[in-house]
């Protein structure tokens, strides 16, 4: 059954108000579309944990610091709606920009601490854009639960902090990263990889897994990460923007090798910026 596609905030809230009044728990899966199995695993978790499920599709201009990246972002609404059919969700919310940022909109939600480094440093303004749109999507959908992938591990921490700090009343549920058979983390951006780049892309995760094993075995973190960086560059990645061991949740640098921790990386390959993260220990 195809879920209704709702494009206006007022129409959405007519529905969600009724659900809340009936005591139903609304779960939201915020997405920017181009849905893959990673997103669909979030929808499955939302179905399991909520009475009503809304998937939102909105390519949020405020979180793109590169206009080319925004322009190239894949948009596949019909295909997305088709992929969602088997989940029998309650609504697909596809707001136009005016429903999220109407004329005169002048507020930015900004999280610090956990948002400051890694992606926050490499993509200035990105997490302000994410925090602002997620706040709007939470309030517009009236959700009590929201489902995010660990693939964007830092985003998951930022949204958790945001919901807690602003008393938004939304429980943020993190779900495991879904990977292709060769280990590449699923991402809408993978659609932009050329055939040649697609073959090389899993080398990022391979290098990270090897580094994680060596760190767990007690080898010095700095040496291991320097060698992993060299491996990634040897696989024709253009750069390694960061490859860092950080503490779980707070994402503070791990200087004493204390585990468990999280290994996070960003590396562009043939013009497509890939990010990944794995648990260590
Ligand atoms: O992860 C994403 O796709 C986006 O950052 C999100 C959470 C939908 C906000 O635009």
| Cβ 152 under 6 angstroms from ligand 1 | yes
Cα torsion angle, 64, 93, 115, 206, sign = negative
Q: Are 249 and 234 in contact (CB under 8 A)?
A: no
**Continuous H helices in 1-96:** 9-21, 37-49, 67-72, 77-84
What average pLDDT does range 63-91 have in this prediction?
95
Nearest CA owner, ligand 1 atom 3: 31
Question: Is the pTM of the predicted complex or chain greater than 0.95?
Answer: yes
From 36, 38, 63, 173, mutation site for ligand 1 pocket: most ligand atoms within 8 A of C-beta:
63
Q: How would you classify the pairing of strands 261-269 and 242-246?
A: antiparallel
Q: Are 172 and 160 in contact (CB under 8 A)?
A: yes
What was the pLDDT predicted at 256? 79
Cα torsion angle, 125, 162, 92, 99, sign = negative
Report whether pLDDT(255) > 90.
no
Which tokens in the block code for residue 14?
Answer: 């007519």
Report whether pLDDT(85) > 90.
yes
Average pLDDT, the chain: 97
Ligand 1 centroid to Cα of residue 243, in Å, is 22
Over the stretch 174-214, which tens digit does the pLDDT of each residue have?
999 999 999 999 999 999 999 999 999 999 999 999 999 99
Helix, strand, or coil here: 57? strand
Which tokens in the block code for residue 78?
Answer: 């019909």
What was the pLDDT predicted at 257? 79
How far apart are the C-alpha atoms of 208 and 196, rounded to whole Å? Answer: 21
Ligand 1 centroid to Cα of residue 56, in Å, is 9
Closest CA to 84 of 49, 64, 55: 55
Ligand 1 nearest atom to the CA of residue 159, by list position: 7
| Cβ 33 under 6 angstroms from ligand 1 | no
**Continuous H helices in 201-268:** 202-216, 221-234
Report whether pLDDT(65) > 90.
no
| Cβ 177 under 6 angstroms from ligand 1 | no
In the DSSP assignment, the letter for residue 36 is -
| Cβ 32 under 6 angstroms from ligand 1 | yes
Over the stretch 33-59, which tens digit does the pLDDT of each residue have?
999 999 999 999 999 999 999 999 999
**Continuous H helices in the chain:** 9-21, 37-49, 67-72, 77-84, 97-100, 119-122, 126-141, 153-165, 195-200, 202-216, 221-234
């Amino acid at each position: 059954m195809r879920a209704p596609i709702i494009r206006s905030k007022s129409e959405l809230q007519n529905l969600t108000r009724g659900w809340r009044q009936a005591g139903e728990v609304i779960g939201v899966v915020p997405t920017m579309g181009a849905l893959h199995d990673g997103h669909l695993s979030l929808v499955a978790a939302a179905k399991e944990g909520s009475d009503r499920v809304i998937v939102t599709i909105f390519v949020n201009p405020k979180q793109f610091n590169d206009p080319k990246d925004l322009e190239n972002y894949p948009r596949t609404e019909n295909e997305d709606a088709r992929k969602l059919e088997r989940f029998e969700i309650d609504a697909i919310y596809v707001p136009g920009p005016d429903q999220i940022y109407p004329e005169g909109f002048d507020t930015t939600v900004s999280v610090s601490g956990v948002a400051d480094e890694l992606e926050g440093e490499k993509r200035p303004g990105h997490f302000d854009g994410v925090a602002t749109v997620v706040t709007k999507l939470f309030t517009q959908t009236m959700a009590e639960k929201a489902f995010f992938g660990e693939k964007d591990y830092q985003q998951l921490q930022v949204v958790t902090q945001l919901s807690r700090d602003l008393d938004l009343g939304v429980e943020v549920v993190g779900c495991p990263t879904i990977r292709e058979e060769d280990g590449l983390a699923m991402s809408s951006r993978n659609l932009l990889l050329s055939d040649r780049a697609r073959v090389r892309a899993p080398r990022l995760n391979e290098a990270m897994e090897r580094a994680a094993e060596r760190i767990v075995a007690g080898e010095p973190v700095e040496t291991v990460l320097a060698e992993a960086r060299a491996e990634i560059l040897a696989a024709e990645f253009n750069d390694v923007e960061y490859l860092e061991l950080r503490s779980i949740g707070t994402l503070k640098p791990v200087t004493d090798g204390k585990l468990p921790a999280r290994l996070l990386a960003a590396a562009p390959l043939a013009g497509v910026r890939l990010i990944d993260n794995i648990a260590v220990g």
